[in-house]
Amino acid sequence: MITVSVLTLFSLGFASAGILAIASKVLYVEEDPRIEVVTEALPGANCGGCGFAGCEAYAAAVINDPDMPPNKCCAGGPDVATRVAELTGKAAGDSEPEVAFRRCIKVEGNVAKKFDYFGIQSCAAAKLVQDGPDACKYSCLGFGDCVRACPFDAMWIENDLVHIAPDKCTSCGTCVRTCPNSILELIPRRSRVMVFCSSQDKGKAVKDVCEVGCISCGACIKKCPAQCISMVDERIFIDHKACLAYGPSCEEVCVEKCPRNILRCLNPELMSAAPDTEPARYPEESHVADLNA
C-alpha cells in the first residue's frame, strides 16, 4: 500500500519535473541580459519621470531604441546617466539638474478663506468646490496631493502650504502632474530668480485677495536686459536658460524693480546641491526656507 502510493507520487513528481525541465529548454525566451543590468543601474523608484511606465520599461527602451538618450532618468541624475551611457555605449549628454518649485506664498500674502472646507481631504476634491476654499483660486490648496504622490518623500505640508526638500527632490515631475492648480514646476537647480506666484488674474483681482501676489505690472519684463522674462498663460515666465546664459551682470534688476516683492533671488548654492540619500531634518535647515520662502 505505502509502496504503491510512494511510487505513484514519485513517478508523477519525476514526470512533472522532467516535463518542466524539457519545457524550460524548449520554451526558453531569450531576453537581452543588458536590460536587467540597466534596470539595476536605475534607481528603481518607478516614478515615471522619464515618461515610461517604470524603470524596466525605460531600460528596455534605452537598449532597443538607438535614438533613446541615456539621461532620461531625472531621479538618478548625472551619475545614473553616465552609468546607463556606459552600459549602452551611448553618449551621456548633459542634463541640467532640476528641482520642483512651488509658485505660491499665500501665507505671506494673508490669503483669506472663502469658506470652511470639510469635504474629502484632497486638493483635487477641494478644487471642485468653488475652486477651493482659498480666496485666491490659484493658490496652494494645501491638502497634500503632491505630498502623497511624491515617490521620494521630499515634500511636506506646513501652514497649509507645501514645502519641498531640495536635497531629496529628484525632479521626477510627479508632483507637477498631480497639482490641480499647476503651481508646481520644475526649474533648473542653478536658477537665479523665481516668481513666487502663479495667479492668472489681473492686478486688481490679485490685490483684493493677496498682499503679495503678482499684479502683472510687467516691470520685470521691461527691465530684464536679457529679455528672458515674458508672459505665458497670463503668468510671469522666466526663461532660466537665457537668464543663466546672461549671467549676473544685470545684478538681478528684475528683483529690485518688482513692486510686490514677489520676484526673489534663489540661493544658488542650495539649488546646485545634488540630491543625496541622507535623511534631511528639513524643517530646521535654514537653506530650505530660501527655496520655500
Partner 1 sequence: MDTFLLFISAIFVNNIVLAQYLGNCPYLGCSKEKSVSIGMGGAVIFVTIMATMFTFLIQKFVLIPFHLAYLQTIVFILVIAALVQFVEMFLKKMVPPLYKALGIFLPLITTNCAVLGVAILVQRKEYDFVTSLLYAVAAGTGFMLALVLLAGIRERFEITRIPRAMRGVPIGLVMAGLMSLAFMAFKGMIA
23-52: contacts with partner 1 (CB under 8 A): 23-24, 27-29
Work out whether 13 is an interface residue with partner 1 (CB under 8 A): yes
Of positions 35, 68, 125, 205, contacts partner 1 by CB under 8 A: 125
Local structure of residue 119 (DSSP, 8 states): S
Q: Tell me the CB-side half-sphere exposure of residue 170, using CA atoms within 13 A.
A: 26
Of positions 4, 94, 204, 247, contacts partner 1 by CB under 8 A: 4
Residue closer to partner 1 (CB basis): 9 or 231: 9
Q: State the minimum distance, in angstroms, from the CB of residue 25 to partner 1.
A: 10
In residues, how long is the chain? 293
Contact between 143 and 123 under an 8 Å Cβ cutoff? The reply is yes
Q: State the minimum distance, in angstroms, from the CB of residue 100 to partner 1.
A: 24
Gap between the Cα atoms of 275 and 77, Å rounded: 9
Stretch that binds partner 1, among 22-30, 98-106, 238-246, 281-289 (CB under 8 A): 22-30
For 122, phi then psi, to 5°, come to -145, 150
Residue closer to partner 1 (CB basis): 77 or 133: 133
Residue closer to partner 1 (CB basis): 109 or 132: 132
Stretch that binds partner 1, among 20-28, 96-104, 227-235, 263-271 (CB under 8 A): 20-28
Nearest to 206 by CA among 133, 100, 126, 104: 104
Residue closer to partner 1 (CB basis): 19 or 245: 19
Q: State the minimum distance, in angstroms, from the CB of residue 5 to partner 1.
A: 6
- What beta strand segments (E) does 119-228 contain? 155-158, 161-164, 184-188, 193-195
For 176, phi then psi, to 5°, come to -60, -40
- Long-range contact set of residues 45-53: C-beta below 8 Å, sequence gap at least 24: 45/75, 45/151, 45/152, 45/170, 45/172, 46/151, 47/75, 47/151, 47/152, 47/170, 47/172, 47/174, 48/172, 48/174, 49/73, 49/74, 49/75, 49/170, 49/171, 49/172, 49/173, 49/174, 50/74
Work out whether 120 is an interface residue with partner 1 (CB under 8 A): yes
Gap between the Cα atoms of 54 and 42, Å rounded: 10
Work out whether 9 is an interface residue with partner 1 (CB under 8 A): yes
Residue window 229-268: x/- pattern of binding to partner 1, with contact defined by CB under 8 A: ----------------------------------------
Residue closer to partner 1 (CB basis): 24 or 277: 24
Residue closer to partner 1 (CB basis): 147 or 228: 147
Residue closer to partner 1 (CB basis): 112 or 120: 120
For 195, phi then psi, to 5°, come to -95, 125
Residues contributing to the site for partner 1 (CB under 8 A): 4-5, 8-9, 12-13, 16-17, 19-20, 23-24, 27-29, 120, 122, 125
